[in-house]
Each structure stands twice: as structure tokens, then as C-alpha cells.
Structure 1
Amino acid sequence: MTSDIRGRSATEIADSVRALIERSQLRAGDPLPPVRSLADDLGVNRNTVVAAYRQLTQAGVVVTRGRGGTRVADLSPVAQEGFAADSVLRDVGTGNPDPDLIPDLAPALARIAGRPVLYGEPVVDPGLEQWALEWMAGDLAAGDVRLTITSGAADAVERLLAQALTRDDAVALEDPCFLTSIHTVRIGGYRAVPVPVDDEGMTVEGLRVALEQGVRAVVHTPRAQNPTGSSLSAARAAQLREVLRAHPYVLVIEDDHFSMLSQQPFHSLIAPEHRRWALVRSVSKFLGPDMCLAVTASDPETAERLAMRLTPGTTWVSHLLQRLTHALVTDAATAASIADAGAHYAARNASFVSLLREHGLDADAGDGLNLWIPLPVPARDVSEQLMRRGWLARPGDEFVLAGDEPSHRLRLTVHDLDDDDAVQLAADLAAAVGAAGGRARLREVG
């Protein structure tokens, strides 16, 4: 393919590569020639080729993988959370909260009416700001905490990364990882560096290796990690803070998405001396996905840069949403219903795990809306067998960043199943494992 690339200037070379991609002569994952080789073939200075590759990288057309060279970017769709479109199957992979457990907004809506908010006024509602500062600062060791309101956690994470990184910068992500985080890093043109997750959160060695590879940001979930359900232990948090001590300017983003619903204590990676950090808490899991609001607490400089990223667009999140959120979270009855919802999710997940164990499938309930089920056979094979039985589940392959081996995990959302449906799904899952080749393993476990 080297002979097909033309040009004497960086722009001409970049345009030539773009044309080859548009004509499908270069496809996703294909390598571009080494800089020295292409410069010699074209009779140009190596710096000219370097500049051309930089243009392509900044445009998201190619990705640089260090010793792995420069390759055409893969722009195929990433799996998304939520219901599967146009499926007649019972979807047990949605990751959605139970709509029946989302508080009724009507009574609070009647209380939030007020004068219109105009351009130039404070972007954060004073009542929400006072409440949120107490909510966030109480869980942080940092001294100077600034508050920003964004249109949900994904919006916050995207803007936080954009204010700190440029294309092809490395970002440490949990592996397996939340689908939205994978999508955010990918469309931003950043390079994901996987950090393994176990029952106590990010592994110490995994984070150390990622930092050695030059990551400029770390995105992690302190509790109810999606998809695994793991939560950061106090001991693991202390170990990870020690690893981060030598990297105070690496941006640490904590996505505490389950917050008020979590059955686990909050432990943070953010040490008092860390210089670039943000704690993000969305209200979508307990007030509903349509409430598109997240509170971000951060260091002053990160807050200022995040505010700048908001300025060219919406500038602020609707004050109606802010007032509604404040009215709900400060209402005693709503707080009680949120606590009940958290207990319900935990109880239903634990109950389903017990059903699985009766069929010889061992699993842990973890924390969060989902279950991360280990299987003796590849998850995609089991997922296909479940489809034949009327169920739609998510194989773990969709969440994995590293490795080419098939995942042996299945993510299930079962909290909204009634008892009869839960019993049926557990039986069908065991049958699906058997049909996929795991019958002997099931007998061993049973």
C-alpha cells in the first residue's frame, strides 16, 4: 500500500491516505507504512510524514499504537446501554432501573415554579449547590472543592476528558468496562489502556502498568462497577492512592453512578494532595434516566476548564431540572423510596444468584443493577441458546477491552423479573449452558 500513497507536503500525504480509506483500499485496522519507509519512497523529509500522520491522528482517521505502528481507526459501532431495538425477546440485558421504583415527579413539579432564569445569571441553582456541596464534599479528602452541573455523567466525563486530553492520549479504563465509557473514549479519539478489575476494584498492578504507559487520565467506578458489580475496598483504595501519589497531575475521574442506591461504602482514589480530579454523581439511576443531570465536584482548575467546555454549547443545565432535582433529593418521602429501591435491587439480585446456585452455576450478587455471571463455556454461545428460549442477554465480550479470547461472562438485568420469571430464566440459563457444551461442567459443580 506504500506505493499508493502520494504527496510532497504533509497535507497532500494526509489527503492521499484519506482518499485510500474512502475508496476502501485501506480498511479499519490496516497499518500505515513506517515513517522512514514512506519518507524514503516519497522522497520527502521524515518530519513531513510525521506531520501528515499527526494530522490524520488529530482528525481521528488513524490511531497510533506505539510499537504497534499507525493504523486506520476502527469506526464500527460500539454496543450501547438500554433496550434492544425491535426485539420480540424478553430483554434481560438492559441495565435500566425499574420504572416502578423511580419517584413520582408530579408533586415536586408543582413546587418548583419560579421566575425565569436569564442569560448572565449563576449557572447553578443556589439550593442545589448548597445541598450538593454537602453531599459531595463529605466523601472527599480534598480541601478546595468546586461544583459543576452537567447533562448527566456521560456528558461530564466526555467534557472532563476533552478539557485535559488531545487525540491519541492514553486513558486508563476498567476492564471489563462500562459501555458508555468505551464509547466516550473511542469517539474522542483517545487510546484506551485496560486496567483489570477484580472483586475489590481496579487492580494495583494494572493501574501501575497503565501509569507507566503514560496515561493522562484514569476513569474508574468506586462502587457498583458496571458490569462486574464490584466496589472499591478501603484497603484497595489506599493501595491505589499510593500508586497515584507519584502522578498528581494525572486526571482521576470517579464515576459514582449508583451513589444513593449503593449498598456499599464509598472509598475514593483521590488523595488530599492529588492535583487533578473529579467526582461525578448522576441522578439517573434513582430519579430516572430522563433527568439528565449530574453533579461534578473537582479541583478548582478542572472546574474552571470544565466550565469553559460548557460555554460554547448549552452553558448551563436547565434550572427547572436543577430545582426539580433539589426538591426531590431533599424530600423525606423520596429519600425513603430511594433507599427502598436500593434494597430491592440488592435483594432481587441475591435471590436470583441463589436460584442459579441450585442449578450448579456459581455467582456473586455484587452491587448495582446487573449481575456478572461466570460461565463454563463462551458467553456468546450461551446467549444464542438463550435467544432460542425467548431471552435476550448481553455477553461479556461487549464489555471487554483486552484479549482476543471469548468472554465466559454474561451480564443480566433481573431485578424487575417476578418470581416465576426469575425461576424460568435460571432454569433456561442452566439449560443454555448445557446446550452450549457446559453440561459436564455443570454436573461437576452440582
Structure 2
Amino acid sequence: MSKITGTTAIEIADCIRALVQNGHYHPGDTLPPVRELAETLGVNRNTVAAAYQRLTKAGLALAQGRHGTSIATAPQAGEQEGLSGDTPLIDLAHGNPNLNWLPDASPLLAGRPLRSALYGEDTILPELRAAGLSWFADDCPPGWELELTNGAVDGIERLAAAQLVAGDKVAVEDPCFLGSINALRLSGMQTIGVPIDDEGMQPQALQRALEQGARAVLLTPRANNPTGCSLSRRRAEELKRVLAGHPNVLIIVDDHFALLASEPYHSVIPSPATRWAVLRSVSKGLGPDMRLAFVACDAGTAARLRTRLAPGMSWVSRILQTVVAACLGAPAVQQQIAAARAGYAARRAELRSELIAQGIRLPPPADGLNVWIPLDRDARDVAYALAKKGWLVRLGSAYDVQAQSQAIRITVSNMQDGQARQFALDLKSALR
């Protein structure tokens, strides 16, 4: 191995970092023991230990207790939602809304100027600010402020980066949305999976995660992806009581399905909370390309969020805001959103009915674009059997944090007439 040099923790860490970048160290390579390297460099063991801790916090090294410290594997983007290309299978894994139920904004823009904004102008269009203030009015503690981000996942990542540091623990639902898992992992956060049931995150499990040092909590109040569960009023109050005992924990509420949700919103933010944010994206109702989310948060969190926006772009594109404002203000679009809400509910209900008719056990009715199907056998075998019958499904394990799901997730948005029945028959056959 190449020689490590340095007399301070920063110098030693920087040297090892350069050795990794130059290819002298590779992922999985073990660094010299602390005592050995300290003797070689003629420094205190605490200096080497501090250098290794610095590398670990930066995600460049992995501390393995008695097995020492090794070079970490570079983070990967991870599994993504989306269409599966030219597959001959019927794609029930994609996670997308129905393209035909998304509004066409072009007729709404006639006569609307698409003027570029200049530095220093108000970062939120007046009509969008009014829409956001109205949307959150009954759901947030007093004194909240409104911001915009480029979608919900962008908001989660910016909030975490503004309030946390690499290595901090974040309590998340288990199973958890792919985008949220990836955003936190790539930001260097440690995720603690909190089990969920039919009513959402389990309070006692959340309490344990907070006692383990979680500095933030990320949860979905409605249409959890992948399971579709929503918080009941009773569960929200239970979670609120748990969080009241930890007033300095950052609470991030990802209400991503708010435009289309059939279930009511129940707040988990207690009055003692000092750091909180509620995000509501427009992508499910207006389309994934509408990368805009409203963020309601306390004043301190809003100030920190602005610092995360300022270095690059201090506002979400005003042109995009104009398009979103036109959609949200159009009665025809509101009618289309209502029709889509009813359409997704009908397709969920149809698939559930067909599965139950085949004797397949399901959780209670849920919300969102998907149906979650727990299995009593290896989900990979079931998915393979379904693929041979022409169906592409998403494995539940893709959403696992620490748990090990045996389940499949079915996106119902593009299912055609008669497909639910055939899928239920084929799934029953695959389970034999």
C-alpha cells in the first residue's frame, strides 16, 4: 500500500483521500490499525482516530469496530421509479400517474406572459403564494412561512442538508419511498427504519428510533409509497405525543399525494416542535415534469432552506411557476384532478376486489397509485412467475430500510379493463 503521511488529523485524512482518488486504495481495502499508523507517523493515536472519523463522516471510509476501518464503496443512485423501456411485459412496476389524466397546460397559457425573472425579484409568484397560503391554512402551527422547491424529493434533500450533518440519523418509514431513501443516503445520512402498519408509522417504534439518536423524522401522512397506507386521526395524535417529547427533532412531512388524496390530512406536528416542514408536490396531479413542491415550515427552517437555495438558484423557475399557477387556477384542471382521483380509487378498488375473489390476502383499502400485496413466500419467485405470464411488478424489498419485505407493489394507474381479473388469476397461479 502507498505511504500515508501527515502529522495532523486533517493532513492524514487528506492524504488518504488523495490515495483513494489516485487509485492506490480501493473500496474494501482496510486501512492500517490506528496504533500501527500512529507509531509509523510518530503521532498520538487520537490524531489517527480523528482522521479516520473524518473520513467516515465524509462517507469515504467505513468503521467496522474490531475489524478496523476500510475504504467505503462510492454511493450509487440506487433503484429508481420509472418506465421499463421496451419490455414486452405489461408494466405494473413503473410508479407513474396515468398520462391521459394529466392536464394539458398549453391552452391555459394563452395570453399569459412567460417572462424570465431577474435576480432580486420576489421568489414566489403572487398567485402561487396565495394558493399555498390557502392550501396549508388549516394544517400548520401558527407563524409558518411558505417556500418552494423543485419537487418533494428536492425539498427533503435540501431540508436535511440545511438542518443536519453527514452521519446524522433520520427515522423513516420502513418500507420507504425510493426517492427519499436515495436522497438521504446520498446526503450521508443514516436511516433508521420505523415499521409501519395499516395506520402508518408505529409510535413505540418511533420512540425507540428517537432514543437511538434520530435527529430527524421523515414520514408520509397519506398514500405511503409503496403500501398506500395513510395516518388515521388516532395514529397521528399518538405520533404527535411522541414527537412532543423531542421538540428539537426535525420533522419532515412528505404529503406528496395531497392533490389527489382521498384520505384526510392529520397533522403530527406538536406545539413544542421547533423545526418542522410539510411538503406538498404537484407532480402526481399535474405530471412528474412539474418539478415543484410547496413547503410550509417554521420561520427558522424557512431561513435555513433559503440558504440552501441561495448558492445555486434562489427560486424555482418563475416560468414553471406560471404554468403551475395556470393549472391550479383553472376550473377545468380542478375537474380533471377530481376525475383522476376517482379514477385511481376505482382502479385500486377493482384490483383489490379481483384479488380478494381469488383468496389473496390484502391490507385494508389504501390511497395512492399502488396496491401493496404481502406474500407468504419469496417475492422474487412470485415476480419471476408473473414475468413468465407477461407481468412486470416491483419487489417490495426495493423499499426496505432495515426490514425484509416479502411483498410486491402494483401500480394501477395504467391498468386496462379486464387486466385486474387476469392479473389476479395469474397471481393466484404463481402462488401455488
TM-score for the superposition, normalised by structure 1: 0.89
Q: Distance in 2 between matches of 1:169 and 1:355?
A: 44
Show the counterpart of 1:417: 415
CA contact (8 A) 1:261 1:338 kept: yes
CA distance in 2, matches of 1:310, 1:21: 29
The 8 Å contact of residues 63 and 168 in structure 1, kept in 2 or not, is answered as no
Structure 2 unaligned regions, length at least 5? none
- Give the structure 2 partner of residue 373 of structure 1: 373
The 1:260–1:187 alpha-carbon spacing in structure 2 relative to 1, beyond 3 Å, is same
1:273-292, CA deviations, whole angstroms, 9 ceiling, x for partnerless residues?
A: 31100000000000001111
State how far apart, in whole Å, the 1-side matches of 2:199 and 2:295 are: 24
Shift in Å at residue 44 of structure 1? 3.1
Aligned counterpart, 1:245: 244
> Which piece of structure 1 moves more, 408-417 or 222-231?
408-417
2:425 is matched with 427
1:383 is aligned to 383
Asked if the contact 1:102–1:288 (Cα under 8 Å) also holds between the matched residues in 2, the reply is yes
Q: What is the match of residue 53 of structure 1?
A: 52
Aligned partner letter, 1:389: K
Q: Equivalents in 2 of 1:32, 1:48: separation in Å?
A: 15
Distance, in Å, in 1 between the alignment partners of 2:22 and 2:428 is: 47
Alpha-carbon distance, 1:87 to partner: 2.7
2:107 & 2:412 partners in 1: Cα distance?
Answer: 30
Residues 1:211 and 2:199 aligned together: no
1:87 matched residue in structure 2 = 87
Separation in 2, partners of 1:103, 1:136? 23
Q: Structure 1 residues 91-100 or 326-335, which shifts more?
A: 326-335
The answer for unaligned runs of 5 or more in structure 1 is 434-438, 440-446
Evaluate the alpha carbon distance shift between residue 69 and residue 84 of structure 1 in structure 2; reply closer, same or farther with a 3 A threshold.
farther
Q: Describe the shift of the 1:339–1:70 C-alpha distance in structure 2 as closer, same or farther (beyond 3 A).
A: farther
User: Contact conserved, 2:194 with 2:205, CA < 8 A, in 1?
Assistant: yes
Q: How does 1:195-344 map to 2 (within 5 A)?
A: 195-344=194-343
Note the C-alpha offset of 1:320: 1.9
Deviation at residue 421 of structure 1 after TM alignment: 2.1
**Pairwise CA distance, 1:316:** 1.0
| SS of aligned partner of 2:381 | helix
CA change 1:391–1:37 in 2 (3 A) is farther
TM-score w.r.t. length of structure 2: 0.92
Instruction: Provide the residue aligned with 1:442 in structure 2.
Output: none
Residue 280 to residue 45, structure 1, CA distance change in 2 (3 Å)? same
* Kept after mapping to 2: 8 A contact 1:249/1:274: yes
- Find the aligned partners of 1:117 and 1:13 in 2 and give their Cα distance: 43
Deviation per CA, 1:282-330: give whole Å up to 9, x if none.
0000000111111001001110111111111122111122122122212
Distance between the aligned counterparts of 1:68 and 1:153, measured in 2? 39
Q: Check 1:308–1:25 CA distance in 2 against 1; reply closer, same or farther (3 A cut).
A: closer
* SS at structure 1 position matched to 2:418: helix
Cα deviations across residues 334-391 of structure 1 (Å, max 9, x unaligned)? Answer: 1121112111111101110111122221113411001110112111111111222222
Q: 1:307 to 1:63 in 2, by over 3 A?
A: farther
The answer to whether the 8 Å contact 1:112/1:320 transfers is no
Q: Residue 64 of structure 1 contacts residue 168 of structure 1 at CA under 8 Å; is this kept in 2?
A: no
* Aligned pairs (5 A) from 1:54-73: 54-63=53-62, 72-73=71-72
Normalized per residue, which structure has more helix? 1
Corresponding residue of 1:139: 139
Greater shift in the superposed pair: 38-47 or 334-343: 38-47
In 1, Cα distance between equivalents of 2:155 and 2:293: 7
Distance 1:150 1:113 in 2: 22
Measure how far apart 1:158 and its partner are: 0.6
Which residue matches 2:105? Answer: 105
For residue 415 of structure 1, report the CA deviation from its aligned partner.
2.9
RMSD (Å) for aligned C-alpha atoms: 2.4
Question: Quick one: structure 1 residues 132 and 14, their matched pair in 2 at CA, closer, same or farther if it must change by over 3 Å?
Answer: same
Count of matched residue positions in the alignment of Structure 1 and Structure 2: 428
**Structure 1 pair 372–48 and aligned structure 2 pair: CA distance change class (3 A):** same
**Is the CA contact 1:280–1:297 (under 8 Å) kept in the aligned structure 2?**
yes
Q: Identify the residue that residue 130 of structure 2 maps to in structure 1.
A: 130
Instruction: Give the partner amino acid of 1:424.
Output: Q
Matching residue of 1:348: 347
Q: What is the letter of the counterpart of residue 153 of structure 2?
A: A
Structure 2 CA distance, aligned partners of 1:77 and 1:336? 37
Structure 1 pair 358/388, CA: closer, same or farther in 2 (3 Å)?
A: same
Cα offset, 1:115, TM superposition: 4.9
SS at match of 1:264: coil
Give the Cα–Cα distance (whole angstroms) in 1 for the partners of residues 4 and 208 of structure 2.
Answer: 39
